[in-house]
């Protein structure tokens, strides 16, 4: 395993990639309304990414046929957008998006409520996002990778939720998926020591029910085996010599 350490110049490009992606997510959030199709979301996302002069990194990745992964309710991740798949009031919709800016990748996911959702759905979304921030407390030089994993998993499990084990977060940089893999549950070992200049996509995927998932016949869409709801929250994060810098949240970008 080799984990890349980004130079000052590379970090600057990662920041640029990150803030453009946050902008895309914010714009996508605005169109989440009952009656639009998952394909509409993908089309708009691709248009936004290309409009910024960036490249959608998911498109054709291992044959994935879209730019935005749209996963509704019991779909965990990697939902394939389709013009006949509408979203409706009460649904929760996870949008996973990524882009390449000047050769550098960013990757982030948000789960949105469509109109009014059940209290259980809202809590699942809140805890999933909260678990990311629990993990982030350990995204610091001197901490170990799996401190992040344990913090995420222990928090989510304290609510009785199922932490997805079959998919993990990852390093990111000149490739979408770099070393290391970042599980979202406690590991036997503490993992590598984190160093300034590492960039990590930390992405808890949390189920309201059991952790088990399965794949649909399209070979992409991951769903919960027990058909419980699932939420996803992800940011690209830079390890510094102080507090972590979230490259896809709280940035300012004007196109
Ligand atoms: N954020 C997703 C991940 O890290 C990217 C999905 S790749 C795609 O796994 F091909 F499904 F788009
Ligand atoms: Co990712």
- Output the pLDDT for position 130: 99
Q: How confident is the model at residue 124 (pLDDT cuts 50, 70, 90)?
A: very high
Taking residue 135's Cβ as centre, other Cβ atoms within 10 Å add up to 28
> What's the token pair of residue 237?
């994060």
Q: How confident is the model at residue 1 (pLDDT cuts 50, 70, 90)?
A: confident
What are 232's strand-pairing partners? 205
The DSSP-derived string for 117-154 is: --HHHHHHHHHHHHHHHHHHTT-STTSBHHHHHHHHHH
CA 64 to ligand 1: nearest atom: 10
Atom 7 of ligand 1: nearest residue by CA position: 58
As a whole-number percent, the residues of the chain with pLDDT over 70 amount to 100
Q: What is the rounded distance in angstroms from the CA atom of residue 33 to the CA atom of residue 43?
A: 15
Q: What is the pLDDT of residues 72-97, one digit of tens each?
A: 999 999 999 999 999 999 999 999 99
Q: What is the mean pLDDT of the chain?
A: 98
Q: What is the rounded distance in angstroms from the CA atom of residue 76 to the CA atom of residue 224?
A: 7
Ligand 1 in reach of 175 Cβ (< 6 A): no
Ligand 1 in reach of 78 Cβ (< 6 A): yes
Residue identified by tokens 């699932």 is 230
Question: Which of 66, 112, 70, 67 lies closest to 92 in space, CA to CA?
Answer: 112
Q: Once rounded to an integer, what is the mean pLDDT over residues 108-136?
A: 99
What are 177's strand-pairing partners? none
Task: Tell whether the model's pLDDT for residue 59 goes beyond 90.
Answer: yes
CA 167 to ligand 1: nearest atom: 9
CA of 213 to the centre of ligand 1 (A): 16
């Amino acid at each position: 395993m080799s984990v890349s350490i980004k130079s000052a110049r590379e970090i600057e490009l990662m920041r640029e990639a990150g803030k453009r992606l946050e902008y895309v997510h914010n714009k996508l959030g605005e169109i989440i309304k009952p009656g639009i199709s998952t394909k509409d979301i993908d089309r708009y996302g691709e248009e936004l990414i290309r409009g910024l002069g960036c490249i959608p990194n998911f498109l054709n990745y291992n044959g994935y046929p879209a730019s935005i992964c749209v996963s509704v309710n019991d779909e965990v991740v990697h939902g394939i957008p389709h013009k006949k798949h509408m979203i409706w009031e009460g649904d929760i919709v996870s949008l996973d998006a990524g882009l390449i800016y000047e050769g550098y990748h960013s990757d982030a996911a948000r789960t949105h409520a469509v109109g009014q959702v059940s209290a259980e759905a809202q809590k699942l979304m809140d805890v999933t996002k909260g678990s990311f921030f629990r993990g982030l407390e350990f995204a610091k030089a001197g901490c170990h990778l799996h401190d992040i994993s344990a913090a995420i998993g222990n928090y989510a499990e304290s609510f009785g939720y199922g932490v997805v084990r079959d998919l993990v977060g990852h390093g990111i940089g000149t490739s979408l998926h770099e070393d290391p893999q970042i599980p979202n549950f406690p590991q036997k070992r503490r993992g590598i020591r984190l160093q300034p200049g590492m960039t990590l996509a930390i992405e808890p995927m949390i189920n309201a029910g059991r952790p088990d998932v399965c794949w649909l016949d399209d070979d992409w869409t991951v769903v919960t085996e027990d058909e419980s709801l699932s939420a996803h929250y992800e940011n690209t994060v830079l390890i510094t010599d102080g507090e972590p810098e979230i490259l896809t949240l709280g940035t300012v970008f004007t196109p």
